[in-house]
């Protein structure tokens, strides 16, 4: 079977790596891919250029490549309606439709949906003007979360220490000075504390199959300090979510969400990512995403024994009830190595060394912001070309063992101004 994978981050590298373990995946084309994906088992994998912000360009690649199945990695093509367009043409594709992907692409839609279906979530107010913000602020005590309605690549959530700061952040978002159009409508949200974790579920629009639980480290600095990022590391272990709590989350959050989307005429097919906070008053939904998480997917797929292609096809063919996912009981942990300065400005083009030595320790180096520099044709080498560059991922008998293995692999890799958190898994 020929597969087309859309995306070029660490998540897509992990998806390609896992699909290569399926003997039925005879050819994999990744658009646009990255240097690490191109280097995987070269005979079966190719990378081709694409503009993921253009539906026409994605369709062009599909016409040229004629895949049997397309898998969408990032949120942007979902929001453009790539699934609707492919299905209209009779092409098989894994991911939710444009209206179903609103669970991620509009934070306001997601909140109002949760309210309609009694899905537990922190208290909120929708604001489209500064007057709305002023009227709503007395309902909240500091700190207050300010969330842009639209997609903002992990930068749309800010935590204000005071009502004054919430007003100032809101004014900048609404005026389009930060986040452009993504913040023309926003949410004020109650700040809640607890253990944050992600439960991703495969859904065929009617039923679901939960993956193992994972925890993501969203802040750039150690001890969960500094700016929000796409994620600086993640781990997955069965002990993150006890069976009783997991059943509660499925019964009160994931299943009502799938049933609610179907009832509203927008059945959700693909990955429903439930971003949760386990608070003293029970689990609350911080956000839904409509795709695999990055970097959660890297440790998750390392723990998955089952064939990923079988799982993706069960979703597309709407027969998820036949799916029994198997996981290794081991813990998997991934450390993101980023370009210094991320999530702000950073330099690209830095040569990366030590990837082979890192993988010789038994870890897997999933690549994200990397490119092959072959200016000098006799000596091509991998260089940085993004904020999050690598996700060094390892399995261990327990969290300490997985972290020790991942960090010992990280230490073998170097590039100018590299940065990583030293507390992933703590």
Stretch near ligand GLY under the rule CB under 6 A, chosen from 172-180, 238-246, 292-300, 332-340 = 292-300
In whole angstroms, the minimum distance from the beta carbon of 275 to ligand GLY comes to: 7
Q: State which residue, 104 or 307, has the beta carbon closest to ligand GLY.
A: 104
Q: Which listed range, 157-165, 264-272, 290-298, 325-333, lies at the site for ligand GLY (CB under 6 A)? A: 290-298
Question: For residue 198, what are the β-bridge partners?
Answer: 214, 275
Report the residue number, 22 or 236, with the smaller CB distance to ligand GLY.
236
Asked if 307 touches ligand GLY (CB under 6 A), the answer is no
Q: Which is nearer to ligand GLY, 140 or 235 (CB)?
A: 235
Nearer to ligand GLY, 285 or 383 (CB): 285
Interface pick for ligand GLY out of 84, 189, 204, 296 (rule CB under 6 A): 296
At its nearest, how many Å lie between ligand GLY and the CB of residue 218?
7
**Residue 295 CB, nearest distance to ligand GLY (Å)?**
6
Question: Least CB distance from residue 309 to ligand GLY, whole Å?
Answer: 22
Residues 225-284 touching ligand GLY, rule: CB under 6 A, are 230-231
Would you count residue 294 as binding ligand GLY (CB under 6 A)? yes
Residues from 164 through 223 that contact ligand GLY (CB under 6 A): 216
Q: Which is nearer to ligand GLY, 105 or 289 (CB)?
A: 289
Closest distance to ligand GLY from the beta carbon of 230 (Å): 6
Among 170, 207, 215, 289, binds ligand GLY (CB under 6 A): 289
Q: Does 12 bind ligand GLY (CB under 6 A)?
A: no
Our CB check for ligand GLY shows the closer of 85 and 294 to be 294
Establish if 293 lies at the interface with ligand GLY (CB under 6 A): yes
In the complex with ligand GLY, the residue whose CB is nearer, 237 or 289, is 289
| 3-state secondary structure string across the chain | CEEEEEECCHHHHHHHHHHCCCCCCCEEEEEECCHHHHCCCCCCEEECCCCCCCHHHHHHHHHHHCCCEEEECCHHHHHHCHHHHHHHCCCCEECCCCCCCHHHHCHHHHHHHHHHCCCCCCCEEEECCHHHHHHHHHHCCCCEEEEECCCCCCCCEEEECCHHHHHHHHHHHHCCCCCHHHHCCEEEEECCCCEEEEEEEEEECCCEEEEEEEEECCEEECCCEEEECCCCEEEECHHHCCHHHHHHHHHHHHHHHHHHHHHCCCCCEEEEEEEEEEECCEEEEEEEECCCCCCCHHHHHHHECCCHHHHHHHHHCCCHHHCCCCECCCEEEEEEEEECCCCCCCCCCCECECHHHHHHCCCEEEECCEEEECCCCCCCEEEECCCEEEEEEEEECCHHHHHHHHHHHHCCCECCCEECCCCCCC
Which lies closer to ligand GLY via its Cβ, residue 289 or residue 339? 289
The count of residues interacting with ligand GLY (CB under 6 A) is 7
Where on the chain is the footprint of ligand GLY (CB under 6 A)?
A: 216, 230-231, 289, 293-294, 296
């Amino acid at each position: 079977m020929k597969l087309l994978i859309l995306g070029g981050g660490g998540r897509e590298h992990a998806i390609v790596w896992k699909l290569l373990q399926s003997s039925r995946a005879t050819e994999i084309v990744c658009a646009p891919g990255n240097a690490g994906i191109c280097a995987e088992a070269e005979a079966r994998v190719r990378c081709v250029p694409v503009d993921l912000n253009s539906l026409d360009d994605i369709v062009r690649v599909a016409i040229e490549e004629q895949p049997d199945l397309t898998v969408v990695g990032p949120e942007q093509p979902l929001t453009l309606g790539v699934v609707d367009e492919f299905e209209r043409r009779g092409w098989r594709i894994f991911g939710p439709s444009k209206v179903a992907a609103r669970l991620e692409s509009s934070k306001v839609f997601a909140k109002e949906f949760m309210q309609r279906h009694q899905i537990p979530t922190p208290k909120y107010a929708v604001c489209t003007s500064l007057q709305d913000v002023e009227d709503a602020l007395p309902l909240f005590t500091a700190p207050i979360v300010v969330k842009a309605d639209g997609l903002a690549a992990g930068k749309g959530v800010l935590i204000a220490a005071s009502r004054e700061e919430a007003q100032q952040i809101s004014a900048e978002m609404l005026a389009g000075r930060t986040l452009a159009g993504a913040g023309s409508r926003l949410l004020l949200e109650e700040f809640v504390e607890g253990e944050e974790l992600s439960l991703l579920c495969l859904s065929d629009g009617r039923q679901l199959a939960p993956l193992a639980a994972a925890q993501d480290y969203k802040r750039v600095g150690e001890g969960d300090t500094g700016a929000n990022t796409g994620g600086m590391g993640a781990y997955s272990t069965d002990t993150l979510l006890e069976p009783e709590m997991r059943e509660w989350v499925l019964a009160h959050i994931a299943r009502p969400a799938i049933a609610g989307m179907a009832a509203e005429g927008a059945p959700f097919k693909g990955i429903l990512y439930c971003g949760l906070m386990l608070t003293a008053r029970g689990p609350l939904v911080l956000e839904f995403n409509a795709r695999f998480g990055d970097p959660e997917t890297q440790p998750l797929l390392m723990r998955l024994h089952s064939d990923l292609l079988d799982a993706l096809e069960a979703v597309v063919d709407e027969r998820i009830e036949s799916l029994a996912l198997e996981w290794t009981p081991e813990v998997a942990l991934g450390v993101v190595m980023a370009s210094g300065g991320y999530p702000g400005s950073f330099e690209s083009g830095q040569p990366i060394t030590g990837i082979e030595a890192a993988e010789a320790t038994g870890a897997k180096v999933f690549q994200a912001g990397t490119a092959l520099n072959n200016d000098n044709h006799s000596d091509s080498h991998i260089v940085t070309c993004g904020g999050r560059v690598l996700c060094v991922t390892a399995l261990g008998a327990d969290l300490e063992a997985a972290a020790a293995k991942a960090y010992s692999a990280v230490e073998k890799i170097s590039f100018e101004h590299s940065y990583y958190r030293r507390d992933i898994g703590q």
